[in-house]
Amino acid sequence: MTLSKRAVWALAVLGFACGIALVPGIATSDFAEDRGLWIALDLVIGFGFIGTGAFAWRRRPGNRVGALMMATGFAWYLSVAPLVDSAFLFTVGQATSNLFVATAIHLLLAFPSGRLEQPVDRLVVGVAYLATTVGALIPMLFLDPVALGCANCPDNLLLVDSNRSFFESWYDSLGVVGITVLLSTLAILVARWREASPPLRRIVGPVFAAGGLLMVGLAGLLAVSIAGAEWQATKTIFYATLIPFGLVPYLFLFSLVQARMLRGGAVGQLVATIGETAGSGDIRDALAVALNDPSVDLAYWLQASEKYVDVQGRRIELPDSEDETRAVYHVTLDGDRVGAIVHDPTVLEDPDLLEAVGGAAALALQREQLEAALRAKVGELEQSRTRMIRFGMAERRRLERDLHDGAQQRLVSLALDLRLAHDMVRRDPAQAEQVLEGAADELGQALEELRELARGIHPALLSDRGLDPAVETLAQRAPLPVEVEAKLGDRVPEPVELAAYFVVSEALTNVVKYAQASQARVRLERDNGLVLVEVADDGVGGAEPGRGSGLRGLADRIASLGGRFEVVSAPGSGTTVRASIPCE
């Protein structure tokens, strides 16, 4: 329920006025017992709920706890009203004298979120409202105060027929329902307290304790009254029960103030700690103290790679908005994202504190952000180094296999053929000549394979004449039309030349092997101290750079030069491999 702040205060003033207005009525009542005590109860309990409720409602307009507190205050006045010597107030008050118990149960079960989260909560609260309204209204038709021994009581305006036995048996049945509702509430409170996280326990503990006592007291009261105990004994239990009830708003205020004082001190402590900390992790601990939430986690934003990492530089995902067990506070500094505080949702109870803590921590987070970024970089480099070593070893194995299966086999055959020709040359010169011809072919092919291998290791054309002609030659040797736009002109450092060359070579190899393309385009240019390489085809797309060792190895090679490498390859719309390598 959202009311304007002014409306909430107006309601509070009305509540205080009601409490005060009842005072003279109680004081002059000629049938009420313990009038002084009742005046005190009227004011202390009524003002407590109305005042605290208004405060809570104004502070958190979206939370129903404030409204429920105020409702409990007004319901309390209804149960005091029958003490006034007025037939109207007596009748209305008598019919609703237990409504405050229903609103109190509602308040307790909805605390601290303001919502009845579970179906069982709604059931218990629903039965409580039903019993204290309809359930209490029906016997009013048969309640004759005079017949019950109260000669000076005002008239019951709802009286239809004085029937004491119906009235009493109805009240006994209602008492059983009441005991069930009260004990159910008690059980739910106990279960909820046991499930609560430590920070939540600190918030709900005092209120739940008072609420639990209230439930026990009221259940006991109903039990002794069903058992037909003396009025004096029943009255004593009732008065005792009102103590925890009356304490509820004050305990609520107390836990609020205590938490604020603790946290207020903690914010100061946080600022001091941040000034001194050098090591990572200290900020997290300081925040855990300041927010009174030991579960706090920090996430640092890495702008360069657009991800969150922990203090060790490991990638982490923030909990999503669906996650009800964690909440996220985003920390910014001068409009830049610095990081995030992942915390228990109960911390949201105090948005001002979160704001203050977030602000105080922003600078320190920014400092640790640099550290985390550095660690993330180191982690990436280590991984990339391992991959490069593996890639290098795999390359050497591939070279050995290529040599063994290719040129070496041809040379072996060549050796055999030469030996054969040697054996034959006198006996059968014509046959020997034929064998030698075959041997020459074999030698030619072995040489071509060796050249191909050597180009794969380090292309001679590249070292002799540079990237533009080397790439032109790659394009010419490809078995599909490749349009080349090579505009580098001047030579660039050798590692850059090599990396760019292998990007084109590997990309074209992949085009031929996988892309089913009809043509490809290679672009080489220099821009702002970067060498840009792009190879695009019109093939089937769907290439995954993480899968093949070729592209992965290229990515690492480019990364080792401080460059960027990307593959754009949506299925059906071709593949574009792009690299930019710093060359100055």
Binding site for other proteins (CB under 8 A): 404-405, 408-413, 415-417, 419-420, 423-424, 435, 442
Closer to other proteins by Cβ: residue 34 or 441: 441
Which residues have C-beta within 8 Å of that of residue 190, sequence separation ≥ 6?
212
Q: Least distance in Å: CB of 281 to other proteins?
A: 54
Closest CA to 112 of 59, 152, 73: 59
Could you tell me if 583 and 493 are in contact, meaning their C-beta atoms sit under 8 angstroms apart? yes
The distance of closest approach from Cβ of residue 410 to other proteins in the complex, given in angstroms and rounded to an integer, is 7
CB of 409 to other proteins, least distance (A): 5
417 vs 497, which CB is nearer to other proteins?
417
DSSP 317: P
| Minimum CB–partner distance for residue 414 and other proteins (Å) | 8
The burial of 227, by beta-carbon neighbours within 10 Å (0-12 exposed, 13-18 middle, 19 or more buried), is given as: exposed
Least Å distance, CB 303 to other proteins, is 52
Quick one: 411 or 559, whose CB is closer to other proteins? Answer: 411
d(CA 524, CA 530): 11
CB of 417 to other proteins, least distance (A): 5
Which of residues 350 and 442 has its CB atom nearest to other proteins in the complex?
442
**9-29: burial string, b at 16+ Cβ within 10 Å, e else:** eebbeebbebbeebbebbeeb
Q: Which of 64, 83, 67, 60 is nearest to 11 (CA)?
A: 67
DSSP secondary structure letters along 135-177? HHHHHHTT--TTTTT-TTSPP-TT-SS--HHHHHHHHHHHHHH
Cis preceding-peptide flag for 545 (omega within 30 of 0): no
Q: What is the chain's percent helix, strand, coil content, to nearest 5?
A: 65, 10, 25
Q: Bridge partners of 536?
A: 521, 576
Measured CA to CA in angstroms, residue 494 lies from 459, 462, 499, 554 at distances of 12, 9, 8, 16
Q: Considering the complex, what minimum distance in angstroms separates the CB of residue 549 from other proteins?
A: 22
- Closest CB to other proteins among residues 173, 431: 431
Residue given tokens 């005792």 in the structure block: 240
HEC per residue, 538-568: CCCCCCCCCCCHHHHHHHHHHHHCCCEEEEE
| In the complex, least distance from residue 394 CB atom to other proteins, rounded to whole angstroms | 19
Give the nearer residue to other proteins in terms of CB position, either 417 or 506. Answer: 417
Q: How far is the CB of 376 from other proteins (least distance, A)?
A: 45
Query: Nearer Cβ to other proteins, position 355 or 405?
Result: 405
CB of 454 to other proteins, least distance (A): 20
For residue 496, count other CB atoms closer than 10 A to its CB. 22
Question: Of 412 and 460, which CB lies nearer to other proteins in the complex structure?
Answer: 412
Nearer to other proteins, 262 or 416 (CB): 416
Task: Note the residue count of the chain.
Answer: 584
Minimum distance, C-beta of residue 443 to other proteins, in the bound complex (Å)? 12
Write down the H helix ranges in 333-428. 351-403, 409-424
Longest dimension (CA), the chain: 152
Q: Which is nearer to other proteins, 188 or 439 (CB)?
A: 439
Instruction: Select 384 or 408, whichever has its Cβ closest to other proteins.
Output: 408
In single-letter form, the type of residue at position 444 comes to: G
